[in-house]
Structure 1
């Protein structure tokens, strides 16, 4: 009789292979693929293993796909893409996740059958066992090429190397580390001290970083919806670099504020937690607005949520200027690869110029909406100068009434008229900030 635990292990690996195949070969986002499948896994431990496997396999795909190429006489056909993904899952669970080797092999062989491809079970067994015998030689060969050694695409290595030559290796290494689970305390409903006490009572280890006023960092990742205080709206999940946005924006009570690309609402919520203001939370994607509203409701916050394109204000703007504008612009997301490793698989060099054009268009459209003496914060989760420094330089050149304001050094190193936080600095994501003030009449 088969062991139910063995079947569960094979089923998780089969699920991982299905999702990973969609991510790698069909361009589906990792989070959406995981969310759709994870809903079926009632056991929190199964969801946790599935998540860890998927994120590790996406993070290291370019390395272990190269290893697999060494082990195959010819490439697997497209119809066997799930077997292809299953083999990478096996390598990653053995090498990165340090799971028991032969248990991984056995579960992957069974997973091949669950995937409806029993004739490939023998191949899976043979390839994984050969990997165990020859791993040192195979990995040494993978290390000879920078793409497979660092698990980053060639264009990204070159672009980051051009923009941050002295920091290239540190950035690539940081991108391949799991990001800490960072929470933001909702000042309207709790304090950091109270939340830490509540976590301690539940034997949940957490710390309060000195450089972030509202942050709590958990020692271990977990399902945040099960943490004490989540349902009551005591906290949200938000990386420290994103939390610093509200400090740079410098909102005060009574101001009229626009969050121009607001969904899913993390920064809008943080602004509302900090000051009594009139906030317009705008986003061009109507499908993301329900989640924004849900997040605000859970936190006990209220905003004017608007569906509209920030670059076309005539369709939604009432003509009254804003004291503060946050432009958290669409970007390459090259600074948050720790949290979204599939960016390495989906983003292309050809994406950067069109993104920079969108960023310039948004900045140009928003500038007339800013009140004299008001401040516009341009922010991205990108590392690339073409999306950051170059965009702000053009904005400043185009408007004689615009001047860049200094930003505190705690927000990263000087980068043109703004500051750049690099991935891993104080445990935070890569993030760019530039604060521009409009002259008074």
Structure 2
């Protein structure tokens, strides 16, 4: 089914039914009305009990992770496509199919509870359709899955345009990129060096019977053997620790900051890298973010961690509106990107992102590079970062941009992590998973870094 519609999912009274809430969220995504992150914060999810809320989120994440297989099977089950205003019913069909194929839900419960959800949505006409479809799937599971596997999209659970892009860019690694991107991401912590140490915090986790080990690459990182609610992390509210993947934690070290330097974090929300820099260094830091709501998140993180920075809500490229003409010795440009390196954390990217957006993002990335370069002091360093694995946003873009700048020098990053590129260094999803067996899958998110120095 196409997911380019414009109508919203049908509304219904507030309900504590986890499948109905999940169906509304999924239908909104199929209608391009938000992402999992935005919909989780603004949906009826909060009307559910903690257990039902967790189940509803699991349904949403699971359907997005397996979307292309589920879509193929749902389309086999339907005689004709559903209308856009009935995407909530289509979402329920995906949810029922996901439970049957990938969850431990008893088959009869997967069918009966999904059918019941159609009644709560006040679409009784769909009761027979969903019931017959899911029972058909139960009778013909292996045949339908086999038929779906004839499609590369369904077999790999990735859109064809991204599969082709990975094949072209990473001929030796594309299957591993897809496999790692379809896994559940590990929970990685970053300790606040001003308040604790890896050893001290490890003991606190041990006291709470939370199994962990130091991150093999990120020196301030701790990997948990299984995710836990942040509310159960000792000292979280007191600023002892934050949640941040190991790949994102590499930024602070790459900047090579010295005392009293003036530092700019551009496109800074939600503030993880800003806070990590301030946990390590006593500096004058400005964090700039375009989105007011996301800028608020930076402020909240700074407050929780007991840190201070000047947070500016503005368009970074419109420097006349916010810049005081004093140049920065270090600039972190964590630019908007396709997010193709963090699909394991945001599986809805596979459904929402389009090939046309990549060209638009490249134009924005070049514009931001040009703007930030003007703010960098002589002999200053700019770190260009993305959570993408597409070279056209990363090494190829830096190569293209450097041709336009005679005062820019690329500095190769010498590190034990990632893959060296002609320009910059690329971490692929799941890289550096040299953990023990209980932490398998603890490799890093996909990330790209390039280091550029300004010289006369």
* TM-score of the aligned structures, taking structure 1 as reference length: 0.94
2:41 maps to 1:25:
no
Q: Does 1:109 align with 2:97?
A: no
Cα distance between partner residues in 2 of 1:330 and 1:72: 38
C-alpha separation between the residues in 1 aligned to 2:374 and 2:67? 45
Distance 1:300 1:39 in 2: 31
Structure 1 partner of 2:4: none
Shift of 1:39: 5.0
Q: Which residue among 164, 168, 186 is the counterpart of 1:162?
A: 168
- 2:47 and 2:284 map into 1 onto residues whose CA distance is 41
Matched, 1:79 2:95: no
Query: Comparing 37-46 with 125-134, which one deviates more in the overlay?
Result: 37-46
Pick one of 111, 120, 123 that aligns with 2:129. 123
Matched, 1:429 2:445: yes
Q: 2:9 maps to which residue?
A: none
Distance 1:66 1:32 in 2: 26
Distance 2:224 2:82 in 1: 41
Match of 1:393 among 395, 399, 412: 399
More helix by share: 1
After TM superposition, what 4+ stretches of structure 1 lie above 4 angstroms from structure 2? none
Which residue is 1:6 aligned to? none
Secondary structure at the counterpart of residue 95 of structure 2: helix
Choose which of 353, 365, 368 in structure 2 pairs with 1:362.
368
Correspondence for 1:270: 276
One of 35, 43, 53 as aligned partner of 1:37: 43
Gaps of 5+ in 2: 1-14, 433-442
- List aligned pairs for 1:328-347, cutoff 5 A: 328-347=334-353
Cα separation, partners in 2 of 1:143 and 1:10, compared to 1, 3 Å: farther
Q: Name the residue aligned to 1:206.
A: 212
Partner Cα separation in structure 1 for residue 144 and residue 77 of structure 2: 9
Q: In structure 2, what is the Cα distance between the partners aligned to 1:196 and 1:116?
A: 51
Q: How does 1:289-304 map to 2 (within 5 A)?
A: 289-304=295-310
**Are the counterparts in 1 of residues 330 and 382 from structure 2 also a CA contact under 8 Å?**
yes
Q: Where do 1:31-430 residues align within 5 Å? A: 31-37=37-43, 39-41=45-47, 43-426=49-432, 427-430=443-446
Alignment partner, residue 6 of structure 2: none
1:163-198 per-residue CA deviation (whole Å, 9 max, x = no partner) reads 112211111111111111111111122222222222
Greater mean alpha carbon deviation, residues 357-366 or residues 243-252: 243-252
Deviation by residue 1:215-257 (Cα, 9 ceiling, x = unmatched): 1122222321342211111111111111111121222222110
Cα deviation, 1:254-283, whole Å, max 9, x if unaligned, reads 211000111111110111011111101011
1:345-389 deviation digits (Å, cap 9, x = unpaired): 111111111111111111111112111221100000111111111
Q: How much does 1:44 deviate?
A: 2.4
Q: CA deviation at 1:38?
A: 5.9
Gaps of 5+ in 1: 1-8
Aligned-residue CA RMSD (Å): 1.7
Count of aligned pairs: 432
